[in-house]
Amino acid sequence: MMAKRLVFTLFLCLSFGFSLLAQTKYPTLFEQTEGKQTPLYHEVISYFEQLSSDFEEVRMVEMGISDAGLPFHVILLDKARTFDPKQWHESNRPILFINNGIHPGEPDGIDASMILLRDILEGKIPYPEELALAIIPVYNIGGHLNRNSYSRVNQNGPEEHGFRGNARNYDLNRDFIKADTRNGRSFQQIFQWLSPQVFVDTHVSNGADYQHVMTLISTESNRLGGAMGSYLRQRLDPELYKRMDAAGYPMIPYVNAYGGKPEDGWSQFKDLGRYSSGYAALFGTVSFMPETHMLKPYKDRVESTYELLKIFIQLMGEDGSTIVKAYQQDRASIKSQETFYFQHTLDRSNYRMIPFHGYRSAQKPSEVSGLPRLYYDRNQPFSTEVKFYETYEAKLEITKPQAYIIPQGWHHVIENLKRNGVNMRILEKDSTLEVSVYHIHDFQTAQRPFEGHYIHSNTTLTKSVAPMSFRAGDLIIPMNQERNKFIMEVLEPESEDSFFNWNFFDTILQSKEGYSAYVFEDLAAEFLKENPSIRKALEEAKETDENLRNNAAAQLRWVYERSPWKEKDHNRYPVYRLEK
């Protein structure tokens, strides 16, 4: 059966390549080179400029700027020619947002989107009148300008391509929460401007060898939740797989089988908020990362991406009203949702069987080392069913406060929230309010840098209630808004991708003042005389802790930590909860 499909796929590829050049006045470099080359950055932009010039239903707009110093372009296709996302939402229109070139060494989506838009405009693809389409042609502009033929050592074409890192060597698909880059900050603004119901971020995979051309990361439906999560699980995902199969590209979930054999099964990719799909899901958007197989010819990869994007358009035409209704329902219900869920872990007792077409793997002597090495034997294809683990369960539940309060000095936090459309109001006068206060109790820090950070994990807290003084101009974030899920995700320190874990608040983790022991000895003695309860607690602690009992410096530190001289800001998390 798989062999028949591969023959059908070959037929489609040949038909696709030979027919389009003769039928269009807008051939792409990909087509002109029979799938061997992908265009330079200025050639991509010029191509879309030409389409926007020749077709009134297309507009190319500049929004934001990249680390490369060049502006972003967003291509809008709108049959009604309003080109206004606000009007699209007011008219209950479905919006599909496609992002390409986040990793420019993986340019499949760039070429596929060029051909896709052209074919829509030339009437070769049925296109729903009500659907609004937005495309970022190249997201990682700096990486796309960094052309080479070698950085994708695992990949079969194109002849030249861009580089994974951006102009500052960031992997942009880790930057959606922290937004260290201009790219990330611009994307947040573009995404909030569009507020799409469906988001697709095109990629190429790494990993094992197998027969499939296309794999797919769908955002976790149980984390997405609500009506959109149900729609994804019950309708959209099954139809994508069914229709890709019919198109000659049997698709499987992204093969997340690193360290094992695919035939032993694998888990769904955990798309945290740092990733494009996880970020989009925090705002109720159904999101996907298509991952073509890196060892397939570039021509096949682009054409399978083209087919998948066509299917997204088909389904959004068929289900547009359902998608819009589910999206609106979830955006409304999130305002009143009381409990939010964090620290999702894989449930390995829950899985489903999926078809898999692979190649037998074995060991043979390496011509480099002479030692055994892994290889896949393409003369031994096989088909089977494997376990796919796709259920993640939350370990932590947190009830939302009535509001968060952020002192105005934490401007980089406030700016990130504003870019993401979070509603805030300014405290009008100096005030003392009773709030819940977090102190950082413990955390672990990575030993090696990760995307410009030594990221924290396994963060634990202590919580107390205390009156706190706030200044006029501090920010209050009411928790009755559509972006509550995002707000909780970034402001609750125990969340895996919280601002705290991304080092936004590391300055609170270091004491700024201290003491000289010979000076503090006399102060500590007087303090203990005036506070017999603390003296008693010290004696009790010494009885149970031998190290404390035999260490004068440790006892002095113990007293200091409980004294009025201890700085109050140390380890105190500077985002406060105004409870109900």
Cα–Cα distance measured from residue 480 to residue 400, given in angstroms and rounded to the nearest whole number: 10
Q: Which pLDDT score, from 0 to 100, does residue 21 have?
A: 54
181 Cβ contact partners less than 8 Å away, ≥ 6 residues apart: 66, 67, 166, 168, 170, 172, 175
Encode burial over 103-141: b for 16+ CB neighbours within 10 A, e otherwise: bbbbbbbbbbbbbbbbbbbeeebebbebbbbbbbbbbbb
Nearest CA to 133 among 188, 62, 202, 59? 59
143 Cβ contact partners less than 8 Å away, ≥ 6 residues apart: 101, 103, 104, 105, 162, 163, 164, 165, 166, 167, 172
> Which residue has 């603004």 as its token pair?
189
What single-letter amino acid sits at 374? L
Q: Which pLDDT score, from 0 to 100, does residue 258 have?
A: 84
Q: Which pLDDT score, from 0 to 100, does residue 260 have?
A: 82
Ordered by start, the domain boundaries in the chain are 2-333, 400-511+570-578, 517-561
3-state SS, 324-353, equals HHHHHHHHHHCCCCCEEEEEEEECCCCCEE
Residue 164, burial from CB neighbour count under 10 angstroms (0-12, 13-18, 19+): buried
Level-2 CATH architecture, domain 2-333: 3-Layer(aba) Sandwich (3.40)
Q: Which pLDDT score, from 0 to 100, does residue 22 have?
A: 53
Nearest CA to 526 among 553, 552, 554, 564? 564
Residue by residue, DSSP assigns 95-163 as EEEEE--SSTT-THHHHHHHHHHHHHHTTSS---TT-EEEEES-S-HHHHHS-BSSS-TT----SSB--
Q: Which pLDDT score, from 0 to 100, does residue 155 have?
A: 98
Cα–Cα distance measured from residue 170 to residue 506, given in angstroms and rounded to the nearest whole number: 21
How confident is the chain (580 residues) per 10-residue block, as mean pLDDT?
45 48 86 98 99 99 98 99 99 99 99 99 97 99 98 97 98 99 99 99 96 98 95 98 99 92 95 97 99 98 99 99 99 98 96 98 97 96 98 97 99 99 99 99 98 99 98 99 99 99 98 96 97 98 96 97 95 98
Cβ atoms within 10 Å of 332's Cβ, excluding its own: 12
| pTM over the 0.85 mark | yes
